[in-house]
Amino acid sequence: MEIISQLIVNSVIAGAIYSMVTLGFNLIYGTAQFFDLGYGVLTAVGGYAVFYFSKMLGLNIYLSIVLGVLIAGLIGFLIEKIVYERLRKQKASSMVYMVTALGVMTLLQAVISILFSSQFQVFPVTINANTYQILGGVITGVQLITLIISILIMFGLVLLLRFTKFGKAVKAVSDDVEVSKIVGIDTDSIISKVFFLGSAIAGLAGILVGFDTGIEPTMGFSLLLKGVIASIIGGIGNIYGGVLGSFLLGFIENFGIWKISGEWKDAISFAVLIIFLLFRPEGILRKK
Amino acid sequence: MEILKTKGIAKHFDGVHAVDSLSIGFEKGKITGLIGPNGSGKSTLINLLTGVIKIDGGLVVVGNNEEIKRLLPHEIADYGITRTFQDVHLFEQMRVLDNVLVVLTKRNVFASLFETHKKFHLARAEEVLIKVGLWEKRNELAKNLSYGQRKLLEIGRVLAMQNGFGDDSDIFFFDEPFAGLFPEMRKIVISVIQDLKQKGKTVILVEHNMDIIRELCDHLIVLDSGKLLAEGLPQHVLSQKSVLEAYLGE
């Protein structure tokens, strides 16, 4: 019974981290309409920015977190402005987008490795060193904060998209870019702000993972893959579907390795992805 | 006074002159019919004047002699220009009400980020949806509407459009708004167009039904092969031999 409680806690934590990555990924996919494989590396950007400000410059950890989130958002925004916006104007094919995104990911990963080495790093301080008991399972303070932040981001995004004018414009661009232009929406401007927002969320996810398990330049790739799997399971481009897929993936992964080795975790994730691609490629919730 | 003019405007596709050095004008506060056989350049002209496609030559003059060589689609709303499409373009995954509310969105993204729709916007959306008979359908997804209702929603959306000063749009392009509509729906569209004229708005109407053209239009422009074939009062233009030959096949 204790093991099951711990597995549930682990699943929820994994789901919370995946959902943050998925939320930003789906937001960008919805408006820019391409698979941004370079998105994952922004988690590392956020993590390393906090590492730089807190450990190398000795700044306050909370200030470092704010700067880390802003820098991840800013870099995502600049990539969109400098690279993807130009590709859109050239009406580039999806293959060109994918190769470019891979290039962006490789470039940023390489820059991080050059600046900080490929070594695994940890932050100098933690934001919460306590551990708590929830339903018989143990959860660390950082994991609890991660869970709370992911829930806040999820509700914040839902409120933003549902009730603000910006949200309506984002939905409109996701629905039909050409009509959006005709009704006076500056689609490039909306997309670049969405990149900022999505990238900042990725940066925050990377920072929280950094507090939980540490950072390394390639950390974004595995997070991105899980985010993509969760998006496809839940329904690509659908905010709610992405969150559902994330928590479902968290549970499948953790309960999948209950009786077997933990190394099967990724194999189970990808098996689930293949099953969905074969039998329900549109995901659990169709794009609404 | 002409509120919108073209000066030698041109567009060609692979050597074919879809619009060929065309110079025409649209009078403020009038309903101008735009007719011509298929392939005459009507839709291309509307697409040029609404920034959907790039102008190859010539220029557009809007309002107080502002000459424009390149119109960007998201900027035409600021000039007070709006349009419907021959094949209806809606935000399919959004509610009927949101399809109207979205055009009341401020164009400055940061200003709109935390701004919700106020009672004023909702009242305006309600007014427009009642006008086109879709208020009861306000919570339906646009994709679930019938063909005629979709056309009416698109018309409702252009009615809600605002220019760069936050006022209602000034120039309305309607591309075959009556096609496929039931008689009751036609009455709604006729009423919308007449109301716009009463408010001093400029309407450009692409239509194949000559009875509607005679009933609604103050002025008629006939295009053929991307060039101006004739223009003037509808009853005069429609009796010209060249128009009958080119367009009506009579």
**Would you state the pLDDT for residue A184?**
83
Per the domain annotation, does A115 fall within a domain? yes
Per-residue pLDDT tens over the stretch A35-56? 888 899 999 999 999 999 999 9
Count how many domains chain A has.
1
Per the domain annotation, does A235 fall within a domain? no
Query: What's the CA gap between B209 and B222, in Å, rounded?
Result: 14
Q: Is pLDDT at B250 greater than 60 in this prediction?
A: no
Q: Which 3-state string (H, E, C) describes B46-65?
A: HHHHCCCCCCCEEEEEECCC
**Would you state the pLDDT for residue B105?**
59
Nearest CA among B5, B82, B30 for reference residue B202: B30
Per the domain annotation, does A228 fall within a domain? no
User: Which CATH class, in words, describes the domain spanning B1-80+170-177+202-250?
Assistant: alpha beta
Per the domain annotation, does A244 fall within a domain? no
**Would you state the pLDDT for residue B15?**
80
Whether the CB of A265 is below 8 Å from some CB of chain B: the reply is no
Please give the C-alpha separations between residue A110 and each of A53, A69, B80, in angstroms, as whole numbers. 20, 20, 49
- E strand residue ranges, chain B: 2-13, 16-22, 25-27, 31-35, 57-62, 66-68, 81-83, 171-175, 202-206, 219-224, 227-232
ipTM: 0.72
Question: Inter-chain contact B90–A179, Cβ cutoff 8 Å?
Answer: yes
Per-residue pLDDT tens over the stretch A83-139? 999 999 898 998 999 999 999 999 999 999 999 999 999 998 888 888 898 878 899
Judged by average pLDDT, the poorest of A105-119, A152-166, A242-256, B92-106 is B92-106
Angle at B247 between CA B246 and CA B250, to 5 degrees: 80
Q: Which residue has the higher pLDDT, B135 or B1?
A: B135
Per-residue pLDDT tens over the stretch A211-229? 999 999 999 998 999 999 9
Per the domain annotation, does A276 fall within a domain? no
Per-residue pLDDT tens over the stretch A172-209? 999 888 888 888 888 999 999 999 999 999 999 999 99
Parent domain of A213: 15-132+140-219
**Nearest neighbour of B109 by CB, restricted to A163, A166, A172:** A166
**Nearest neighbour of A179 by CB, restricted to B91, B115, B162:** B91
**Distance from the B172 Cα atom to the nearest Cα atom in chain A, whole angstroms:** 12
**Would you state the pLDDT for residue B248?**
57
Backbone angles phi, psi at A235, to 5 degrees: 125, 105
Place A288 in a pLDDT band, splitting at 50, 70 and 90.
Answer: very low
Question: Inter-chain contact A178–B92, Cβ cutoff 8 Å?
Answer: no
**Distance from the B80 Cα atom to the nearest Cα atom in chain A, whole angstroms:** 10
Mean pLDDT value across chain A: 91
Question: Inter-chain contact A182–B101, Cβ cutoff 8 Å?
Answer: no
Nearest CA among A6, A2, A1, A22 for reference residue A248: A22
Question: Inter-chain contact A164–B114, Cβ cutoff 8 Å?
Answer: yes
Question: Inter-chain contact A183–B101, Cβ cutoff 8 Å?
Answer: no
